[in-house]
Amino acid sequence: MLHKRFIISELVRTKKQSLIFIMCVILSIITLVALDGFSESVNRSIIRDAKVQHGGDIIIRSNFPFSKKLAERILSLEKSRQVRTAKTYRFHSVVRTQNSETSLLADIKVVDNAYPLYGNVMLASGRDFGTVLKKGKVVVEKGVLDRLGMNIGDRLYIGKALLLIEDVVNIEPDRPVSFLTFGPRIFVSVSDMDGLGLVTKGSRVKYNCFVKTGKEKLTGLLTTELKALAIEGQERVEAARNMKSRVKRFLDNLIFFLSMIGIFTLLLAGIGIWSSLTAWLKEREETIAIIKTLGGSSRFIISHYLVIAFMLGLVGIIMGIPTGFILQQFLPGLFKGLLPDNIEMIIPTGAALKGLMIGGIVVGLFTFIPLDGLKDIRPVAIFKKESWGTKRGPAFYVIGIIIFFFFSGLVLWEIEEMKIGAFFTIGIIILIVITALLTRFVLGLLKRLSVKSLVVRQAQKGLFRPKNSTGPIIITLTASLAFILSIFLVEQNLDAAFVQSYPEDSPNVFIMDIQPSQKGEVSKHLGGDTVFYPVIRGRVLSINKKTVNVEAERKKKSDNLARVFNLTYRDHLLEDEVIIKGRRMFRDDFDSLQVSVLDHVQEFTDIDIGDIIMFNIQGVKLKATVTSIRSRTRETIKPFFYFVFPEETLNEAPQIIFSALSMPKADVPHFRSRIAGLFPNISIVDITETISRFSTIMHRLSLIVRFFTLFSIVAGILIVISSILATRSARIREAVYYKILGATSGFVLRVFALESLMIGVISGFIAIIISQAGSWIICTTRLDISYKPFIVQSISMAVGITLLVVIVGLVTSISILKQKPVFFLKENAESEA
Amino acid sequence: MNILEARDITKTYVIGETGVPVIDKVSLGIPEGQFAVIQGRSGSGKTTLLTLLSGLDKPTSGTIFIKDKDITLLKEDALAPLRNEFFGFVFQSFHLVPSLTALENVMFPAELKNSSKNMKDALHRAESLLKRVDLTKRAGNYPHQLSGGEKQRVAICRALINNPRIIFADEPTGNLDSVSGEAILNLLTDIQEEYRATIVLVTHSIEVAGLADRIVTLEDGRVIEDRSPGTAEKKN
């Protein structure tokens, strides 16, 4: 039988602790609900707009002209009027003004009359796209006019053709959001394609065919039929509904990463729930002891506090789910520029149910131990002669194991990949264990430290005040700060390695699409030491006769074996390469085909010397034995290849050739114009612009990550407030004693401020050590980049957290400082009486 | 010459909309070196009077002079040095700082007074005080490791560390058994003689009152009797 008035009175008496408990519950689910809702909204928008975004019901793509069987079937379908088709050809090329004074690398899209099958190309003039884009005319993105200083009506060179700029494109229905673009769009009519002279054997042209069926069933049937006709590994046939766009893949990866942060926040909020409930129950220790003295059983007490925890948990979940959805509404702004603009935010039931379930489990798991500990409170506690603490009995360890499996399961559910899930869970456990050990070590040292200054000594003693949650506070703050700092340090190091300190000798200009016959001429214009990099595109079919599982590989978050690789041939190492396995790149005593593999490949598949790899190189199967493993001595933007073949093996294969140069940024436009004039098919890519764009994206992503990581800091702050509330009476007692013995309010304030400062400094100090070590390991072993500690920035972040803790500590202590000694003494005398 | 003088002090607590007088126009002068006991039944206002006399609380009206200085006009922080150097406190509930050892508790007021200077002197004095009350071996113990009598002896040492002129004691034997209580009272009387301190002690015990130079009896917030032991001086 529940004593309702007792429950209500307990809730009223512990308003502040109840509030902290509820806030921890809200915090535990807010990020996951928001991310789930956001992800679902984006998915639905992408599926809804799939036909428009992808340009048709069925999309056929290839880097080569379509194979005969496939092309014939497309033609027959078109003739039978069962479907409508549109063809596009995409490639990059340098375009020039009519006088060749300025040039620009542009993204050329050659389209036929049927394009677009879905949606409309919106032009600045408002005219119909089909009527504007005729032979001899082009439609350009505004960036072309701005960057070349041209106007509508001017003419520009694309390859060999001089074409008239007829209009400006505002919206292109099937253009995906792309973060790294090599130039603005130019639409060219298919009737001008041959005249450009740019599409030749080996050119990097993307051949696309869009099929409009208008019927779901027909789409399915035709997709299956066309897939069967396509050359595997070269031609891809997919229904728009099932296509994972670049945006979708990017979003999946980002949401996965943010979900990991959400799970980390969930864990910290769980610790917050545990900590606030423990603090809350300790505050009620005397009441519980009195009830026990009066004959109340542990079962009676636990059931009542269980109801209270359940009620508060429910309130937290009920508030947390809509709060998550409110947060979700702000996410499109945070992701601005990284996702399409037309995403419609929905409130999915699945996300709400998931929030309800996760919130319920977390409340259940993290309230169990404190509630179970109530049975250990003995009636003698009314004499305040013994202190109650959570005993680490079997229940403690069982719950610990359940929590471990719950979080591991949650990670696996989010990412669906065992290896990364295990890495993440183990990583978090290691982080918390190391944090806990270092915290214990530092606190142990501090306890033994002999301090002269009275204020410092009292603050030091305050850390070890009974019921103070100093340990959990430091662990939570440290873990969250270490997490944020590590992300920051890795990002800064990536930035430093690839953006800021871009090595002077590294190439910044790439000369693409050189035909084998042009090597000699190009070499004359680039200089004598020009290095040419031939590229042959191919796929890995099997390793040691074990066929590559394309579906499974594509699901990998890391690099995978199912993609198209850029292969090359040469008989020498590059200057930034070393052999780490094998004597030389290729053996002389070997009759069969050999291949040298870069050690990066070993990170996503097991491969070693002697293994046999089956390649599909443009339809031709090649079996090669691994005779050496190479490694790069430094990570730069210099070209590198996973698979290198001996020169004589592939030099006759269809290939593209590129070269890389280092030159001052100011010289690039002139150089581009000169080369484009001489070799219209050759593209010049200025990587410095790309690096700048890359940097902007990195900072945007970093901002998103930091935003989500802030929630874990909030969990730490809630634990700080909870601890101060739990030790409120002890702090008031201390403050009163100090005042009775002649201390001023300033002294008390200094003691409390210094205590918070110590917590902040210890957390910051340990967080810096852990994050520096962790980031160093990630940068040097996983990313292979040199490591800079960014000490000033790290300390600044730690100081920021410390100040936050001090401010929160002081604000929460203000009412304690205002307490007059006489009230405490009176109350105490009454309780003694 | 009175070291402490209360003139017409009143303390009223407002409960709901009603003002309840706890101390009602009390005037009292305590000469230097006197051992004065304030006694009365539970609820008579004796502890409230002690908190007013010691500046722990402010009267609703009236003045309290400590050597010609009206402490009712002083702000909280201005009272701090007075509490630190001029007063010593001993409470029924001991009120030792739980996170400090017995020795650290005794030294605390001296450290507040001197900051980091003369800490050696303070240490010697704290040690000799603890020795004086037979607690040398317990100097390193925390309050929760001490018995009630030991805690009170530590509290007395703490009250004495800065050589206060007045010691305020609120039911110092209230939480102790009779043997410990007697020992504490003997200690207080010895101290009064030894240090020539003024003691203002609140108690409801007739035995304790018997040791005093003067007994002030309160009832309903008013002084109904002010006498030396063995005499009777009724006050209206």
Distance from CA of B55 to the nearest CA of A (A): 9
Say which residue, A358 or A724, is predicted with more confidence: A358
What's the rounded mean pLDDT across residues A599-622?
A: 86
Say which residue, B14 or A371, is predicted with more confidence: A371
- DSSP H helix total and E strand total for chain B: 7, 10
Q: Please give the pLDDT value at position A636.
A: 61
| A832 with B92: Cβ contact below 8 A | yes
**Residue type for A831, please?**
S
Which of B46, B112, B117 to mutate against chain A (most A CBs within 10 Å)?
Answer: B112
What's the rounded mean pLDDT across residues A493-515?
A: 71
Q: What are phi and psi of A171, to 5 degrees?
A: -130, 130
Which of B50, B87, B99 to mutate against chain A (most A CBs within 10 Å)?
Answer: B99
In B16-136, at which residue ranges do the beta strands (DSSP E only) sit?
18-31, 35-40, 61-66, 69-70, 87-91
Q: Please give the pLDDT value at position A724.
A: 74
Option in B80, B96, B119 nearest A742 (CB): B80
Of A374-388, A648-662, A711-725, B23-37, which has the strongest mean pLDDT? B23-37
In this prediction, residue A216 has a pLDDT band, given cuts at 50, 70 and 90, of: confident
Query: Counting beta carbons within 10 angstroms of the beta carbon of residue A664, is it exposed (0 to 12), middle (13 to 18) or buried (19 or more)?
Result: exposed
How far is Cα A426 from Cα A430, in angstroms, rounded to an integer?
6
What's the rounded mean pLDDT across residues A476-482?
A: 83
What's the pLDDT tens digit per position in A98-112?
Answer: 887 777 778 899 999
What is the secondary structure of A338-353 as a DSSP string? Answer: TS-TTPPP---HHHHH
| B97 with A734: Cβ contact below 8 A | yes
Q: Which residues of B touch A458 (CB under 8 A)?
A: 99
Q: Which residues of A touch B110 (CB under 8 A)?
A: none
What's the pLDDT tens digit per position in B129-184?
Answer: 899 888 999 999 988 889 888 998 999 999 988 889 999 998 888 877 878 888 88
- Give 3-state DSSP helix, strand, coil % of chain B, rounded to 5: 40, 30, 30
pLDDT at A196 over 90: no
Structure tokens at B70: 């009206």
Q: Please give the pLDDT value at position A22.
A: 92
How far is Cα B155 from Cα B102, in angstroms, rounded to an integer?
9
- Peptide bond before residue A116 is cis, with ω within 30 degrees of 0: yes
pLDDT at A637 over 70: no
CA angle A92/A210/A190 to nearest 5° reads 50
Bridge partners of B69? B66
Q: Please give the pLDDT value at position A167.
A: 94
- Give the single-character DSSP code of A666: G
How far is Cα B162 from Cα A601, in angstroms, rounded to an integer?
77
In this prediction, residue A505 has a pLDDT band, given cuts at 50, 70 and 90, of: low
Q: Which residues contact A684 (CB under 8 A, 6 or more apart)?
A: A94, A103, A105, A509, A510, A511, A512, A668, A671, A672, A675, A676
Strands A565-569 and B2-15: unpaired
Q: How many residues does chain B have?
A: 236
What's the pLDDT tens digit per position in B71-95?
Answer: 999 887 788 888 888 999 988 888 8
B112 touches chain A (CB under 8 A): yes
Say which residue, A827 or B193, is predicted with more confidence: B193
**Any idea of the CA torsion for A737, A743, A744, A746, to the nearest 10 degrees?**
-90
What's the pLDDT tens digit per position in A286-340?
Answer: 778 777 777 777 888 888 889 999 999 999 999 999 999 999 888 888 887 777 6
pLDDT at A672 over 90: no
What residues in chain A have their Cβ under 8 A from chain B's Cβ atoms? Answer: 452-454, 458, 461-462, 464-466, 730, 733-734, 736-747, 820-822, 825-826, 828-829, 832-833
pLDDT at A385 over 50: no
Structure tokens at A738: 């100090």
Q: Please give the pLDDT value at position A242.
A: 73
Which of A741, A751, A820 to mutate against chain B (most B CBs within 10 Å)?
Answer: A741
In this prediction, residue A467 has a pLDDT band, given cuts at 50, 70 and 90, of: low
How far is Cα B55 from Cα B78, in angstroms, rounded to an integer?
11
Structure tokens at A700: 């945007």
pLDDT at B125 over 80: yes
| B99 with A461: Cβ contact below 8 A | yes
Option in B95, B96, B99 nearest A465 (CB): B99
Query: Counting beta carbons within 10 angstroms of the beta carbon of residue A174, is it exposed (0 to 12), middle (13 to 18) or buried (19 or more)?
Result: buried
pLDDT at B105 over 50: yes
B74 touches chain A (CB under 8 A): no
* Domain B2-227 class in CATH: alpha beta
Distance from CA of B186 to the nearest CA of A (A): 24
Q: Please give the pLDDT value at position A635.
A: 60
Instruction: Give Dmax (Cα) for chain B.
Output: 54
Torsion A502-A506-A509-A511 (CA) sign: negative
Q: Please give the pLDDT value at position A416.
A: 62
pLDDT at B116 over 70: no
Strand order in the sheet with B2-15: B18-31, B2-15, B61-66, B69-70
For residue B49, the chain A residue with the least C-alpha distance is A822
Say which residue, A818 or A40, is predicted with more confidence: A40
Which ipTM value was assigned to this complex? 0.73
Say which residue, A425 or B33, is predicted with more confidence: B33
pLDDT at A690 over 70: no
CB pairs under 8 A between A and B: 84
Averaged pLDDT score across all residues of chain A: 82
Q: How many CA within 13 A on the CB side of residue A238?
A: 15
Q: Please give the pLDDT value at position B115.
A: 57
CA distances from B115 to A266, A452, A456, B118 (A): 46, 9, 12, 8
For residue A746, the chain B residue with the least C-alpha distance is B77
The runs of H, that is alpha helices, within A133-199 are 142-148, 193-196
Strands B214-219 and A185-189: unpaired
How far is Cα B213 from Cα A753, in angstroms, rounded to an integer?
46
| A742 with B85: Cβ contact below 8 A | yes
pLDDT at A132 over 70: yes
Helix, strand, or coil (residue A505): coil
Q: Please give the pLDDT value at position A178.
A: 52
Say which residue, A636 or A65, is predicted with more confidence: A65
pLDDT at A386 over 50: no
Option in B76, B85, B95 nearest A737 (CB): B95
Q: Which of A569-578, A613-622, A699-708 has the lowest average pLDDT?
A: A699-708
Structural domain spans, chain B? 2-227
Distance from CA of B165 to the nearest CA of A (A): 14
Q: Which residues contact B93 (CB under 8 A, 6 or more apart)?
A: A828, A829, A832, B175
Q: Please give the pLDDT value at position A689.
A: 66
Q: Please give the pLDDT value at position A314.
A: 93
Say which residue, A699 or A565, is predicted with more confidence: A565
Helix, strand, or coil (residue A207): strand
What's the pLDDT tens digit per position in B192-228?
Answer: 888 788 999 998 877 777 788 899 999 999 999 988 7
Three-state SS annotation for A586-599? CCCCCCCCEEEEEH
Are the beta carbons of B125 and B163 closer than 8 angstroms?
A: no
| A464 with B99: Cβ contact below 8 A | yes
Distance from CA of B230 to the nearest CA of A (A): 30
Say which residue, A385 or B198, is predicted with more confidence: B198
Bridge partners of A783? none
Q: Please give the pLDDT value at position A259.
A: 82
Of A499-513, A635-649, B40-54, which has the strongest mean pLDDT? B40-54
What is the secondary structure of A593-636 as a DSSP string? Answer: -EEEEEGGGGGTS---TT-EEEEEETTEEEEEEEEEEEEESS--
- Give the single-character DSSP code of B234: B
Of A175-189, A585-599, B201-215, which has the strongest mean pLDDT? A585-599
pLDDT at B26 over 90: yes
What's the rounded mean pLDDT across residues A258-266?
A: 83
